[in-house]
Structure 1
């Protein structure tokens, strides 16, 4: 694909709907699932946090396998698009199972929770790695890719809203007084919507960027090639730190509103929807700002500013909940731009890896990045559960102690701010500037590579 070729708005929207579908699960895992397991399902916070961490460690095995399988796939529809059709129905089923409460003993419920969470994780891996790999197959132009990712992260919050802002109000509307059943049915509805989004993504996209040469499936070889990519290693640290911060703060929202602000699901929806629209605005702004300024410097200041605002929020009295909402919206605008920059840099690192090693391992590259991101989600969820337990958070919908409220405040403000600061400084070591990527893409278009 030449640098001057443009992707149509129709294709950008269709591609973006695939991520909106993924975020029905991803965003609910960040913002709602911990609350569901502790306050509705009845898992102790420490058990919940440990389960999040241990189950996600399976991704160390499944993610590179799925990435290598996707790279080795060859059909008339491409390498990555067929997986969207093949997995969308099991993906929807997993959404329902993870939010179901069986009539088992306490130990049986723990086993079921682990099994359902593993199944959802596997289905998310099987569909999300090909989806994310698809972005690098649509264009190799770094500017057009940033535009693609800006569209993606402007539309993605639609799925996130279904999995976060809409789930509790819809559950209460469908089954008043029976929130467990309401959540289960709501996720079934959202699962069907997710299926339709993936189908539209399949129908509206076209894979243009092909690997330089086809080779047999060899996971060990591709992992070795991956670790030769020094920029991927730096980006992995950046992604991990960022996701820990995002999950800590996102997962604490429901607890913060209920325990600290003493508000109900209506205010939860206001926070979630406000954050969603703010994130969409931030994604739209990422393209002009990311083009005008260096993406690396822009990302550095985004994360540092987010940390500063989070620390500021710690000192705002809970009685001023509207001021806290405004702070939440401002942080969401800033972080909305970060997502588009993050995935644009992931694509750049993939192209750089091909230029350096003479092998394009898009699926493996994306799988490795998604594993790091999911590891950040797992560690963030584990820290969330462990801090809640350390500060005495009680399971079930009961009044919480002052100590538990203090733990929730720290999880919503100071603790994620520490990880945002680490995120900001990690990206300072990343070297794929716009000038560098222009050379990489130009060399690849001519079949040339880095000279030894």
Structure 2
């Protein structure tokens, strides 16, 4: 349990926490928004084959997530359980990003696919997992106050959005500056990698781990792997949140990857991807400054549901128009929705850790977050695979001056229709989530156990 009662974490510590996800998003946003475009239009790799690679890779990714979660739970150092890994992995993270966007242009098609498989798994399965699972565990280790966790999630989402905004705005500009060829992508991510290292160092230096298990002094134990998994399966709220995260990231992978195709195919200019994406990010950032009020009044679950409803409206309106101004207006609405969801989803994960400890007696921040990471990576991989399949089956041809009706519909399907269905499912799923009302009583009971 938390050893000292706090009114709130320092502003700089909240900012430092958010810097971690800003660093992660340099690679994540690139993978969801630009990697498929790089593979198809610059590296000459088939979109359908890439989609299959991304989906198959999630099997390895899931195993690595669970391994890393157990490593975090067993880490004991003067820096804590999670922070040491952020320090150790920040430079490998930057180098891996460069390799991801360095497919040898002169290689044969099969050789390129092998390179894509190896580097994609190096980044997603090994490097990203080794830094993101510890980072995701940090929220629950910094504080046990539910509102403060929401504030940390807001800072996380705010800085992550700023990172996404930066990547969305400057990636294609940097690529053009460095020559608008395959090699330009490697140089671009050399610059971005350096920025990521700086952000991770701020995260490591500025955060503190405070929360301990609810046991008497000297009685803390290491939870066996099998027992930890059994505890997860008894945690109904963890199951709900993990499925929710997987669905959210399926949607994000779909519309994130389809945005550039939407700009090219429907609006006729791939450079419009920046203003469309930026409208989302700017609205999200602005909303982040006020969303804490609504979280405090309405609870995390209800704010999450509100975000789903706003996304349904925004995407629904997009299906009815190809007018640029209206598309931007809908993007602003989606930005507000994203703020609602981003401010709550990671705090909900942290709350399930306390519920799991109360329910089973086992506190496993690393395992809970790694299993959630597995869920949302499966979602991201599935979304990317679906996107690649839809674009390929729709008949999209990069060199075509005008795309077929099937290609245009496939882009709209990935960009809006499937995400709408996903958000309806999430709303139905959250009807069984009651932890907001139960949380205060759970924390009080954990305190009594520690004092007994």
Query: What TM-score, normalized to structure 2?
Result: 0.94
- 1:311 paired residue number: 316
The structural deviation recorded for 1:334 is 1.2
Gaps of 5+ in 2: none
Equivalent residues of 1:304, 1:420 under 8 A apart: yes
Tell me, yes or no, if structure 1 residue 55 matches structure 2 residue 25: no
- 1:78 paired residue number: 80
* Map 1:81-96 → 2, pairs under 5 A: 81-96=83-98
Aligned equivalents of 1:106 and 1:329: distance in 2? 40
Structure 1 residues 325-334 or 59-68, which shifts more? 325-334
Equivalent residues of 1:64, 1:219 under 8 A apart: no
- 2:250 paired residue number: 244
The structural deviation recorded for 1:161 is 2.5
Aligned equivalents of 1:110 and 1:82: distance in 2? 34
Aligned equivalents of 1:263 and 1:197: distance in 2? 33
Residue 299 of structure 2, aligned match among 282, 291, 294: 294
Aligned equivalents of 1:304 and 1:16: distance in 2? 26
Query: What TM-score, normalized to structure 1?
Result: 0.94
Equivalent residues of 2:50, 2:385 under 8 A apart: yes
Aligned equivalents of 2:399 and 2:135: distance in 1? 37
- 2:139 paired residue number: 135
- 2:208 paired residue number: 206
CA root-mean-square deviation:
1.7
Query: Per the alignment, do residues 420 and 158 of structure 1 end up closer, same or farther by CA in structure 2, a change over 3 Å counting?
Result: same
The structural deviation recorded for 1:399 is 4.7
Aligned equivalents of 2:157 and 2:355: distance in 1? 23
- 1:197 paired residue number: 199
1:352-385 Cα shifts (integer Å, max 9, x gaps): 1111111110000010111101111011111111
Structure 1 residues 306-315 or 377-386, which shifts more? 306-315
Aligned equivalents of 2:128 and 2:297: distance in 1? 35
The structural deviation recorded for 1:111 is 0.3
Tell me, yes or no, if structure 1 residue 353 matches structure 2 residue 353: no
Tell me, yes or no, if structure 1 residue 218 matches structure 2 residue 220: no
- 2:287 paired residue number: 282
Aligned equivalents of 2:138 and 2:115: distance in 1? 33
Aligned equivalents of 2:362 and 2:395: distance in 1? 51
- 2:347 paired residue number: 344
Aligned equivalents of 2:13 and 2:273: distance in 1? 33
Aligned equivalents of 1:353 and 1:86: distance in 2? 29
Tell me, yes or no, if structure 1 residue 187 matches structure 2 residue 192: no
- 1:400 paired residue number: 403
Aligned equivalents of 1:448 and 1:217: distance in 2? 17
* 3-state secondary structure, aligned to 1:57: helix
Aligned equivalents of 2:375 and 2:12: distance in 1? 31
Aligned equivalents of 2:87 and 2:189: distance in 1? 20
Aligned equivalents of 1:39 and 1:163: distance in 2? 18
Equivalent residues of 2:283, 2:333 under 8 A apart: yes
- Corresponding residue pairs, total: 443
The structural deviation recorded for 1:181 is 2.0
Tell me, yes or no, if structure 1 residue 110 matches structure 2 residue 116: no
